[in-house]
Structure 1
Amino acid sequence: MTDTRKSPSLFVFLAVLLGFTLLMTLLSEGYGSGHLSTSFIKTLGKTLCLCLAALAMDLIWGYAGILSLGHMAFFAIGGYMIGMWLMYARTREIVEAALSQGGLPATPQELEQGIASQIFGVVGASDLPAIWGFAYSFPLQMALVVLVPGLLALVFGWLAFRSRVTGVYLSILTQAMTLALALYLFQNDSGLRGNNGLSGLQNLPGLTDVGQDKLSMWFFWASALALGLAYLLMTWIVSGKFGSVIRAIRDDEARVRFLGYSVEGYKLFVFTLTAVIIALAGALYYPQAGIINPAELAPTASIYLAVWVAIGGRGRLYGAVIGAAVVSLLSSWFTGGRAPSIPLGFGTLDWVNWWQVLLGLTFVLVTLFAPKGLGGLFDTLAGLRSPNRRGAPLGPDQGALQEREALK
């Protein structure tokens, strides 16, 4: 059986997350002293969602060895699914208030027509597409947050893994899937407002009297809770036999298949599970962002996800969280215009334009000289070392708590 007590990082992580959540609550505008602005709390909440996505990416890449460059597509799908309910329910309140001023109660047909015109008038349509058939129901849309990305990942993964597509070819396929989905959503007749996307998601239906200072804290708490539960789940998975098998698949897939394990089944389970977790992260992220559009599905977003995990240290759950948090917060600081420009005599170094170059350079340097990432620093401070295997084969991946040893 799985024993999470063998993973001391679990209790350290949960304690740090709890302490951080309590501290931010005490400093927030909604429930504390007001030292932290509502916009900053939203930034922290979104960062926790990105950490949750990185955690899932570490499971599939760092532990199972599957480099998916399309998982942020599931992140956006989760956002679209919850965004449909948020936009529909909020628009319904506005339309009902407007029609009630006429003196006579609106018919269901008038109400439906008014909602459709409000939402899709921007793309020249006046009818609700069929995919909005469950947008009136929060429970049904939450079910779709799980079912839509889960089924997409299940079908895609089954087709790819049964064909034994691996390595860079699988990465290209996942990126192609993301690009195709993004190009489709850019069309106005996709049923999701094309390039306009879904907006006004920060306004929760029925809670117009609750300020954003309190709503931001609610989402911050929900994001922290989701991250903590996901970390507990991931630790439970990788600490037992299942974790040993997927690490073996990462290091020597042919040998694991020869031993009689269903390699494709393990891969498919991890691929689908991580897709659902990332979709839930997206469902928490976009109400805090307030808007979602097809640009969120760009393949570069999934590349960023891999960069976060690599910088944090793949094969370490806490490393993925550290990498996502550090890079995300630095990105907000550099691209938000808060980083001072540096005069160079012949020109000015503007971080808004050069931040991505710095990020790319950091990724290259970490890959070449510090494959254990930022998480490796914590290993050193904590005195954690890889087990001495006395020259036994350790697999090709140096970034997953493995070491190079001389034959003895």
Structure 2
Amino acid sequence: MRTRSVIYQPHVIVVLSLLAIFTVTVVSFSEVSGGFLSTSLVKTLGMTLCLCLVAIAMDLIWGYTGILSLGHFAFFGLGGYMIGMWLMYARTEAIVVEAAAGAALPPTPQEIQDAIGTQIFGVVGGSDIPAIWMFAWSLPIQLLLVVLVPGVLALVFGWLAFRSRVTGVYLSILTQALTLALSLYLFQNENGLRGNNGLSGLQIIPGAENVPQAEISIYFFVASAVALGLGYVLAAWLVSGKFGSIIRGIRDDEARVRFLGYSVEHYKLFVFTLTAVIAGVAGALYYPQAGIINPAEMAPIASIYLAVWVAIGGRGRLYGAVIGAAFVSLLSTWFTGGRAPDINLGFYTIQWVDWWQVLLGLSFVIVTVYAPRGIAGIFDVFKRRPAKAKAKPKPVVAAEASTGSVD
């Protein structure tokens, strides 16, 4: 019954309807359907939907629970690495087997493994397949790891942090330290994930080498839209009932919620772990569309950008997180992609590729100071107008007549 009521909430209906219209429109005008939308643009839009999904996760942990996590993009990256391992291994295995098909003697399984290791890790001077790749041959296991690796890491980290009652800026610093440590570890060539080279060629799907990229991009775009829709409904369901009231209470007055008898640490740990899983799923859909993932994607600055998106969109509102991520990420693509015209001031030329981050930082400061409700706060104006219309005072004559005080 509660799920049904959540689906019929106005903001859920609007978001799902717009998402459905947007998905149908993009598919209808894509290259596959003979339209004018390029494959690269479809991939950009699909990646934007994935960023909207991770922004919802950020809004749950920060906007609703009050925990400013500066490490959630690390979980996003881990999801990408887990699916990327299977994509690289399966594709390389297919290449090795095909190349050995014409040999006089068929290669042994060990020779195939050695050839796969050389192909993948030769760029970092290795040839042995590391132990962390032991399940890379299995798609179901790697899909399970997309959920388990970010979830278990968040569970362990959250349990250690929340049981010690670390809160506020100290917790934010800890999450940022986790992200930095993970990023620095992945930069090392000895970690088994190709160091700074990362995982590449992820846009080539094993078993679908002959399928055009235009068609594959549509599949991933639709999958990203479905994931975003399901993630939005799940988040709306969580924040609509008693659970949502409790995490809002934790955000506003944690001590009072604890005094009322609720296990604050358990609620925070659940939200932290769940949002890490959501971020991992979003990353697993994002990087096959991006085609490459490397440790730079998991640098602390990426998680800071994520917080900026949610703040600009309007934290504490799920649709605000979606608006902020979509607006800023698409604007960033436009500015940093060289599409924005440079501004010649005579004495200096503003090149947006260099100045975009400055503009983003100023926007964050302005929104924080002058519009704390973000872009989503605009919709509050439309909400208040019907309420004012219903609350119009009675005419004076009618009011006096009802009390019998008319002369």
TM-score (norm 1): 0.93
Q: Distance in 2 between the 1:245 and 1:357 partners?
A: 37
- Report the Cα offset of residue 34 of structure 1: 2.3
Q: Distance in 2 between the 1:265 and 1:120 partners?
A: 42
- Report the Cα offset of residue 289 of structure 1: 0.4
Q: Where in structure 2 are the equivalents of 1:199-348 lying within 5 Å?
A: 199-348=200-349
Q: Aligned pairs, how many?
A: 386
Partner of 2:196: 195
Kept in 2, the 8 Å contact 1:184–1:190? The answer is yes
Partner of 1:147: 148
Q: Distance in 1 between the 2:34 and 2:216 partners?
A: 16
- Counterpart residue identity of residue 50, structure 1: L
Q: Distance in 2 between the 1:48 and 1:40 partners?
A: 13
Q: Distance in 2 between the 1:380 and 1:227 partners?
A: 26
The answer as to 2:76 corresponding to 1:75 is: yes
Kept in 1, the 8 Å contact 2:88–2:200? The answer is yes
SS in 2 for 1:257: helix
- Report the Cα offset of residue 87 of structure 1: 0.2
- Report the Cα offset of residue 262 of structure 1: 0.3
Partner of 2:42: 41
SS in 2 for 1:101: coil
The answer as to 2:111 corresponding to 1:101 is: no
Q: Distance in 2 between the 1:72 and 1:378 partners?
A: 28
- Report the Cα offset of residue 4 of structure 1: 1.1
- Report the Cα offset of residue 107 of structure 1: 1.1
Partner of 1:11: 13
- Report the Cα offset of residue 383 of structure 1: 4.0
Between Structure 1 and Structure 2, whose CA radius of gyration is higher? 2
Q: Distance in 2 between the 1:48 and 1:273 partners?
A: 19
Unmatched 5+ stretches in structure 1: 388-408
Partner of 1:369: 370
- Report the Cα offset of residue 380 of structure 1: 1.9
CA RMSD across the alignment: 1.3
Kept in 1, the 8 Å contact 2:162–2:269? The answer is yes
- Report the Cα offset of residue 106 of structure 1: 1.8
Q: Distance in 2 between the 1:381 and 1:375 partners?
A: 11
Kept in 2, the 8 Å contact 1:157–1:271? The answer is yes
Kept in 2, the 8 Å contact 1:379–1:385? The answer is no
Q: Distance in 1 between the 2:65 and 2:240 partners?
A: 13
SS in 1 for 2:101: helix
- Report the Cα offset of residue 6 of structure 1: 6.5
Kept in 1, the 8 Å contact 2:90–2:206? The answer is yes
Q: Distance in 2 between the 1:166 and 1:289 partners?
A: 35
Q: Distance in 2 between the 1:384 and 1:62 partners?
A: 25
Structure 1 residues 128, 72: closer, same or farther in 2, change over 3 A? Answer: same
Kept in 2, the 8 Å contact 1:6–1:239? The answer is no
Q: Distance in 2 between the 1:6 and 1:13 partners?
A: 11
Q: Where in structure 2 are the equivalents of 1:362-401 lying within 5 Å?
A: 362-383=363-384
- Counterpart residue identity of residue 355, structure 1: W
SS in 1 for 2:215: helix
SS in 2 for 1:215: helix
- Report the Cα offset of residue 347 of structure 1: 1.1
Which string of whole-angstrom CA distances, capped at 9 and with x for unpartnered residues, describes residues 285-322 of structure 1? 00000000010110000000000000000000000000
The answer as to 2:102 corresponding to 1:128 is: no
Kept in 1, the 8 Å contact 2:7–2:233? The answer is no
- Counterpart residue identity of residue 347, structure 2: F
Kept in 1, the 8 Å contact 2:84–2:202? The answer is yes
- Report the Cα offset of residue 378 of structure 1: 2.2
Name the stretch that deviates more: 375-384 or 261-270.
375-384
SS in 2 for 1:338: coil
The answer as to 2:101 corresponding to 1:87 is: no
Which string of whole-angstrom CA distances, capped at 9 and with x for unpartnered residues, describes residues 132-189 of structure 1? 0000000000011111110000000000000000000000000000000110110000
Kept in 2, the 8 Å contact 1:27–1:33? The answer is yes
Q: Distance in 1 between the 2:271 and 2:300 partners?
A: 21
Kept in 2, the 8 Å contact 1:61–1:67? The answer is yes
Kept in 1, the 8 Å contact 2:312–2:367? The answer is yes
Unmatched 5+ stretches in structure 2: 389-407
- Counterpart residue identity of residue 115, structure 1: I
Partner of 2:401: none
Partner of 1:406: none
Identify which of 2, 19, 22 aligns with 1:20.
Answer: 22
Q: Distance in 2 between the 1:106 and 1:285 partners?
A: 36
Which string of whole-angstrom CA distances, capped at 9 and with x for unpartnered residues, describes residues 58-99 of structure 1? 000000000000010000000000000000000001111111
Partner of 2:168: 167
SS in 2 for 1:102: coil
Q: Distance in 1 between the 2:387 and 2:268 partners?
A: 25
Q: Distance in 2 between the 1:336 and 1:221 partners?
A: 24
Q: Distance in 2 between the 1:60 and 1:364 partners?
A: 21
Kept in 1, the 8 Å contact 2:87–2:205? The answer is yes
Which string of whole-angstrom CA distances, capped at 9 and with x for unpartnered residues, describes residues 241-278 of structure 1? 00000000000000000000000000000000000000
SS in 2 for 1:340: coil
SS in 1 for 2:363: helix
Which string of whole-angstrom CA distances, capped at 9 and with x for unpartnered residues, describes residues 314-360 of structure 1? 00000000000000000000000000000001010000000000000
Percent same amino acid at aligned positions?
Answer: 71
- Counterpart residue identity of residue 333, structure 1: W
- Report the Cα offset of residue 384 of structure 1: 7.4
Name the stretch that deviates more: 260-269 or 3-12.
3-12
Q: Distance in 2 between the 1:227 and 1:383 partners?
A: 29
SS in 2 for 1:135: coil
- Report the Cα offset of residue 101 of structure 1: 1.8
Q: Distance in 1 between the 2:226 and 2:105 partners?
A: 45
Q: Distance in 2 between the 1:156 and 1:33 partners?
A: 49
Q: Distance in 1 between the 2:386 and 2:337 partners?
A: 39
TM-score (norm 2): 0.93
- Counterpart residue identity of residue 220, structure 1: F
